[in-house]
Chain A
């Protein structure tokens, strides 16, 4: 199978999708104005479910593995931040939203925690008072017990 005359060609992106990674291009210098070809997935990968794709209408550089353009490859020398920002910004927005939700929950929980702490202190005070009362009552009961014994023995006759 014969090879391409030139190693690389400029192409115009007619369709791209960050969720599927599909890229369709026209290569006017090679296949005329109307033919649209798919760009191969070989050498490309999705990051966090998002494909890095060129924007529609932009110009990219492509090559192919034979003269029939059986596989067309997007020659991407380095990631283009402007192109990749769309996907990353979307993820940042999602994470920010999650973060504010978690922060809101945390504030609520902190507030509830402080309120509960006051109640615990009050209960602890109540318990301490009750313990003191119990001690006094125990002492009085002991006195009364001694009075009862003395009465039986006729101490007070």
Chain B
């Protein structure tokens, strides 16, 4: 534990840098960033950095944990990717070091998967793709039992990570790789997946109770509308030619959405022409097209709450508005200093509070085994674990 104040809301924070001498008292702040379809990331800021660490730390395995209560924790497993030391002679020594500050940027263990490769994957399903990649790196995995078969996936100078995320996104799934666990999930089935759920309370939602509690909204910055930073929100008409030379068509449907409430109307119909092997593939592409772009987007800065992960559902309560209700977590950035712990959540929804949340069939998340360091100082799963869920 490196920081712990007398405040009851102060989190327990642990940092372990393996195989390197560390003066943990010099750590002044740290962040953990988790986001859908991205590697986990963390930064550690040192005040008065041991100079030998500038080179010794690069590549060192790192474990960081932020915990506010039993079972309420966010853990980071990765490696120090690079260090940015800052040395200004006029500022003298800090903690007896001429390196006044240094920021160590750490990439999650999934960064093992970033090396470019050239190969093709023939007649492969999502389960086969994920399990084979997981096996390569000694990871555990959880993947929907989707029977769709790609006739071919080409990996042309792209990494296993890039292949995995682009393949999953193309058929409507998101990916996270926290610790050594690859989790593939359908954002439209976030409710039955039952990843950690929290309620984010506004001042109104807390009924004037100003006592500290995790998940209280401090700032809320929204972007509402069909024009978003990730492009416009449309319905789609897809047309393609299958392997037999038949022209095939598919369209998105208003029944296909998160089901968090009443669908916010999608304006206009975009046409997409593409190459497919079958009508089934075109249907997959079509249904996936609305899953990565939502009309209501926001970043909510809340008092530190470690639970939400990409794929979680949070409830915004309440602004006394049509956007109160359930939102999908797309990312979370935790920042801990010696004086505060805040979480910035990137959330999105396609629904207003017009009707009750829709229950869709699906399977709940099974906690994976924790990572361990193997003899080569590489994070791997402590157990073989593969969850192919409905």
Q: Residue B212 at the A interface, CB < 8 A?
A: no
Residue B156 lies at the interface, judged by CB distance under 8 Å to chain A: yes
Q: Smallest CB–CB gap between B81 and chain A, Å?
A: 26
Of A26-34, A82-90, A114-122, the segment with at least 4 beta carbons within 8 Å of chain B is: A26-34
- Which residues of B154-176 have CB atoms within 8 Å of chain A's CB atoms? 154-156, 170
For B155, the chain A residues whose CB sits under 8 A away are 31
Q: Does B120 lie at the interface of the complex (its beta carbon under 8 Å from any beta carbon of A)?
A: yes
B243 touches A31 (CB 8 A): no
Please state if B120 and A69 are interface contacts (CB–CB under 8 Å).
yes
Q: Does A35 contact B (CB under 8 A)?
A: yes
With a cutoff of 8 Å between Cβ atoms, the chain B residues found around residue A99 in the complex are: none
User: Which of A34, A42, A70 touches B151 (beta carbons < 8 Å)?
Assistant: A70
Q: Complex Cα distance A66/B285, Å?
A: 14
Mask, A82-106, CB within 8 Å of B = 1, is 0000000000000000000000000
Which residue of chain B lies nearest to A3 when distances are taken between CB atoms in the complex? B275
B117 and A70 form a contact (CB under 8 A) = no
In the bound complex, residues from chain B placing their C-beta under 8 Å from that of A37 are 120, 122, 152
Q: Is the CB of B274 within 8 A of A69?
A: no
Q: Which of B242-297 contact A (CB under 8 A)?
A: 243, 245, 274-277, 285
B90 within 8 A of A: no
Pick the contact of A68 from B117, B154, B245 — CB < 8 Å? B154
Known: A1-B274, A1-B275. A67 touches B154 (CB 8 A): yes
Is the Cβ of B275 less than 8 Å from the Cβ of A30?
no
Let me know if B197 is at the binding interface, CB within 8 A. Answer: no
Count residues of chain B with CB under 8 A from any CB of chain A. Answer: 20
Binary contact readout A30-71 vs B (1 if CB under 8 angstroms, 0 otherwise): 111111010000100000000000000000000001111111
The answer, yes or no, to whether B153 is at the interface (CB within 8 Å) is yes
- Which residue of chain A lies nearest to B241 when distances are taken between CB atoms in the complex? A65
Give A37's nearest chain B residue, CB to CB. B120
Chain A positions within 8 Å of B285 at CB level: 1
In the assembled complex, the CB of A5 is this many whole angstroms from the nearest CB of chain B, namely 8
Whether A68 pairs with B152 at a CB distance below 8 angstroms is yes
SS class of chain A's interface: helix, strand, loop or mixed? Answer: loop
CB neighbours of A1 from chain B (8 A): 170, 274-276, 285
A63 to chain B, nearest CB (A): 13
In the complex, per-residue mask of B105-130: 1 if CB is within 8 Å of any chain A CB, else 0: 00000000000011110100000000
How many Å lie between the Cα of A88 and that of B313 in the bound state? 68
Query: Given that A1-B274, A31-B156 are known contacts, is A71 also in contact with B243, CB under 8 Å in the complex?
Result: yes
Interface pair A34/B119, CB less than 8 Å apart: yes
Given contacts A37-B152, A68-B150, A69-B152, contact A32 B117 (CB under 8 A): yes
The one of B119, B245, B275, B276 that contacts A31, using a Cβ cutoff of 8 Å: B119
List residues of chain A with CB within 8 A of the CB of B276: 1, 70
Contact in complex: B120, A65 (CB < 8 Å): no
Chain A, Cβ-Cβ closest to B117: A32
Q: Are A70 and B277 also in contact (CB < 8 A) when A30-B154, A31-B156 are?
A: yes
Residues of B within 8 A of A30 (CB): 118, 154, 156
Instruction: Output the least CB separation between B226 and chain A (Å).
Output: 24
How many Å lie between the Cα of A71 and that of B155 in the bound state?
A: 15
Residue of A nearest to B166 (CB): A2
Chain A residues near B245 (CB, 8 Å)?
42
Known: A68-B152, A70-B151. A31 touches B274 (CB 8 A): no
Q: Which of the listed residues A1, A37, A71 has the most CB atoms from chain B within 10 Å of its own CB?
A: A1
With A31-B119, A35-B118, A35-B119 already in contact, the answer to whether A65 and B275 are too (CB < 8 A) is yes
Name the distance in Å between B150's Cβ and chain A's nearest Cβ: 7
With both beta carbons as reference points, the residue of chain A lying nearest to B156 in the complex is identified as A30
Chain B 220-241 residues near chain A, CB threshold 8 A? none
In the assembled complex, the CB of B169 is this many whole angstroms from the nearest CB of chain A, namely: 12
- In the complex formed, the residue of B with least CB distance to A32 is B118
Tell me how far the C-beta of A134 lies from the nearest C-beta in chain B, rounded to whole angstroms: 83
Q: Mark B123-154, 1 if CB is under 8 A from A, else 0.
A: 00000000000000000000000000011111
Task: Name the residue of chain A whose CB is nearest to the CB of B272.
Answer: A1
Chain A residue numbers with a CB within 8 Å of B153 are 68
Identify the B interface with A (CB < 8 A).
117-120, 122, 150-156, 170, 243, 245, 274-277, 285
Beyond known contacts A30-B118, A32-B119, A33-B118: 11 more, CB 8 A cutoff: A1-B274, A31-B156, A32-B118, A37-B152, A66-B274, A67-B156, A68-B152, A69-B154, A70-B243, A71-B243, A71-B275
Contacts A/B (CB < 8 Å), 26 sampled: A1-B170, A1-B275, A1-B276, A1-B285, A30-B154, A30-B156, A31-B120, A31-B155, A31-B156, A32-B119, A34-B119, A35-B118, A35-B120, A42-B245, A66-B275, A68-B150, A68-B152, A68-B153, A68-B154, A69-B152, A69-B154, A70-B151, A70-B275, A70-B276, A70-B277, A71-B275
